[in-house]
């Protein structure tokens, strides 16, 4: 997006929600600079696998030793001419390093400084470490998922906390702060908590409880398995069909095509759900998944196939929507990856070439930040940059 091409993002995080936010911002056209620890000193770090987080699409990268005073001074200099800084240290660490939001926003009042963390910068859980499953747990999400055979909440199939609760939450907050800056001239400090983002995704159930005292559990509501017409059924070939016939006219269409019209006027009859569920189960087992899709999907019944990841990547609809693009790896050759999520914008961008693990754009970045060749050489000789 041309409107964002001059915005500079300094990303001090490597993986997780912050990396997902950076991927979105780079796809939006911002100049994202990924800052990783130096390798020479054996810094503790996590390098994403080559295909993760867009494989560095649209980003430049450099390595800086933040344990060295001159390394921290360099970050302060880069932040002074950046529009956005993203970090994901544990609460308080950035400030102890001298690169916290108070110091950097004083140097650059227009800076949008975004801290991403699991539980936020304050509160009783701020010091906890965690991962996706933990944030799903604390937000109430896991308690509303279906139970496995042992009566334990089933593991979700995707890292929705990192992706939506954290990455999209951070990117959206950054965009809002940049828009506000166009009017105020001032940057902003953003305390992005993955758990807060997950809680927002749980708004239907949380707002319901706050307003009525009614709590959602597996099997207690429309969307958590109470009714036979909202769930997943096995087909004859061992594949699955999802059913979401909430509206009455869609439900009646489904009953008609399944030849189960005895249930057409009993959609919300609690006493009929067991019998209805068994009838649906038996009927769906009578044909293969794709046969059911051919019969039902286009007939206003709210069904869809449960696709494997491999099937997703070859699905004709998702292909027609240009959800995939190609990239080039220096050793592995050409491969595909998800395209930028840019509704309404052209996706025909140049093919991304994955940089070799040891590659950095440090000199180019520092020259653009007005450092002299002598200063760059000195920092490199000191081991502050790679």
The 3-state secondary structure of 276-316, one letter per residue = HHHHHHHHHCCCCHHHHHHHHHHHCCCEEEECCHHHHHHCH
Query: Are 8-200+356-382 and 227-306 the same fold in CATH?
Result: no
Question: Is a pLDDT exceeding 70 seen at residue 46?
Answer: no
* pLDDT score of 149: 87
- Which whole-number Å values give the CA distances from 7 to 21, 29, 383, in the listed order? 15, 8, 29
* pLDDT score of 355: 85
Mean per-residue pLDDT, 123-141: 97
Which residue, 58, 54, 86, is CA-closest to 173?
86
Q: List own/partner pairs for 105-108 with CB under 8 A and 24 or more apart.
A: 105/187, 105/189, 107/76, 107/79, 107/80, 108/79, 108/80, 108/81, 108/82, 108/187
Q: Which of 140-149, 189-198, 222-231, 274-283 has the lowest mean pLDDT?
A: 140-149
Give the pTM.
0.92
Using only C-alpha atoms, the chain has a radius of gyration, in whole angstroms, of 25
Residue 1, classed as helix, strand or coil, is coil
User: Going along the chain, which residue ranges are E strands?
Assistant: 8-11, 31-36, 59-63, 84-87, 112-117, 188-193, 230-234, 240-244, 303-306, 324-329, 333-338, 352-353
- In degrees and rounded to multiples of 5, residue 306 shows phi and psi of -85, 110
Mean per-residue pLDDT, 167-195: 97
Confidence category of residue 45, pLDDT binned at 50, 70, 90: low
Mean per-residue pLDDT, 306-310: 98
* pLDDT score of 341: 86
Which residue, 159, 137, 155, 157, is CA-closest to 146?
155
Select which of 11, 132, 162, 196 is catalytic. 162
* pLDDT score of 347: 64
Select which of 6, 122, 131, 249 is catalytic. 131
Mean per-residue pLDDT, 282-309: 98
Average pLDDT, the chain: 93
For residues 112, 117, 122, 126, the Cα torsion angle rounded to the nearest 10 degrees is -170
Confidence category of residue 198, pLDDT binned at 50, 70, 90: very high
Are 292 and 303 contacting, i.e. CB atoms less than 8 angstroms apart?
Answer: yes
* pLDDT score of 17: 92
Alpha-carbon span 327 to 322, nearest angstrom: 14
* pLDDT score of 346: 63
Take residue 120 and report the two structure tokens written for it.
């936020």
Among this protein's residues, is 77 annotated catalytic?
no
The CB density around residue 346, as the number of other CB atoms within 10 Å, is: 9
* pLDDT score of 48: 63
- Which whole-number Å values give the CA distances from 259 to 53, 263, 265, 270, 299, in the listed order? 46, 10, 14, 21, 14
Q: How do residues 54-110 score in pLDDT, each as one tens digit?
A: 778 889 999 999 999 999 999 999 999 999 999 999 999 999 999 999 999 999 999
Q: Classify residue 370 as left (phi > 0), alpha (psi -120 to 50) or beta.
A: left
Alpha-carbon span 18 to 5, nearest angstrom: 20
Are 380 and 360 contacting, i.e. CB atoms less than 8 angstroms apart?
Answer: no
Q: Which of 46-55, 211-220, 356-365 has the lowest mean pLDDT?
A: 46-55
Confidence category of residue 348, pLDDT binned at 50, 70, 90: low
8-200+356-382 has which fold?
Rossmann fold (3.40.50)
Question: Is a pLDDT exceeding 80 seen at residue 40?
Answer: no
Q: Where are the domains of the chain?
A: 8-200+356-382, 227-306
| Most trustworthy range by pLDDT among 157-171, 253-267, 355-369 | 253-267
Among this protein's residues, is 329 annotated catalytic?
no
8-state DSSP, 7: -
Residues 6+ positions from 304 with CB-CB distance below 8 Å: 241, 242, 244, 293, 297
* pLDDT score of 386: 92
Residues 6+ positions from 194 with CB-CB distance below 8 Å: 17, 116, 117, 118, 119, 135, 161, 162, 165, 166, 169
CA angle 84, 87, 92 (to 5 degrees): 125
The 3-state secondary structure of 54-108, one letter per residue = HHHCCEEEEEECCCCHHHHHHHHHHHHCCCEEEECCCCCHHHHHCCCHHHHHHHC
Alpha-carbon span 52 to 337, nearest angstrom: 9
CATH number of 227-306: 3.30.1540.10
Largest Cα–Cα distance of the chain, in whole Å? 84
């Amino acid at each position: 997006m041309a409107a964002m091409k001059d915005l500079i993002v300094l990303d001090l995080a490597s993986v997780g929600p912050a990396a997902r936010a950076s991927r979105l911002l780079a796809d939006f056209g911002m100049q994202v600079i990924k800052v990783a620890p130096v390798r020479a000193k054996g810094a503790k770090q996590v390098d994403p696998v080559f295909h993760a987080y867009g494989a560095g699409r649209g980003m430049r990268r450099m390595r800086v030793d933040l344990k060295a005073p001159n390394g921290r001074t360099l970050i302060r200099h880069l932040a002074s001419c950046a529009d956005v800084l993203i970090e994901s240290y544990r609460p308080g660490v950035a400030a102890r390093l001298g690169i916290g939001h108070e110091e950097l926003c004083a140097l650059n009042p227009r800076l949008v400084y975004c801290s991403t963390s699991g539980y936020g910068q304050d509160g009783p859980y701020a010091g906890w470490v965690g991962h996706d499953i933990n944030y799903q747990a604390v937000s109430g999400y896991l308690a509303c998922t279906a139970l496995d055979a042992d009566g334990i909440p089933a593991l979700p199939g995707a890292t929705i906390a990192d992706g939506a609760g954290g990455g999209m939450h951070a990117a959206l907050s950054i965009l809002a702060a940049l828009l506000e800056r166009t009017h105020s001239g001032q940057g902003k400090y953003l305390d992005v908590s993955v758990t807060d983002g997950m809680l927002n995704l749980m708004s239907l159930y949380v707002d319901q409880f706050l307003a009525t005292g009614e709590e959602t559990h597996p099997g207690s509501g429309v969307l958590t398995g109470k009714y036979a017409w909202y769930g997943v059924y096995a087909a004859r070939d061992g594949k699955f069909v999802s059913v979401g016939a909430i509206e009455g006219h869609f439900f009646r269409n489904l009953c008609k095509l399944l030849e189960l019209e005895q249930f057409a006027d009993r959609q919300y009859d609690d006493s009929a759900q067991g019998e209805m569920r068994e009838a649906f189960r038996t009927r769906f087992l009578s044909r293969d998944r794709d046969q059911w899709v051919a019969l039902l999907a286009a007939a206003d019944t709210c069904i869809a196939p449960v696709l494997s990841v491999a099937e997703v990547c070859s699905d004709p609809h998702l292909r027609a929507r240009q959800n995939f693009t190609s990239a080039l790896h220096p050793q592995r050759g050409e491969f595909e990856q998800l395209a930028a999520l840019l509704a309404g914008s052209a996706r025909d961008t140049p093919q991304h070439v994955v940089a070799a693990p040891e590659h950095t754009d440090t000199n180019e970045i520092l020259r653009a930040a007005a450092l002299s060749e002598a200063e760059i050489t000195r920092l490199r000789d000191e081991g502050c940059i790679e």
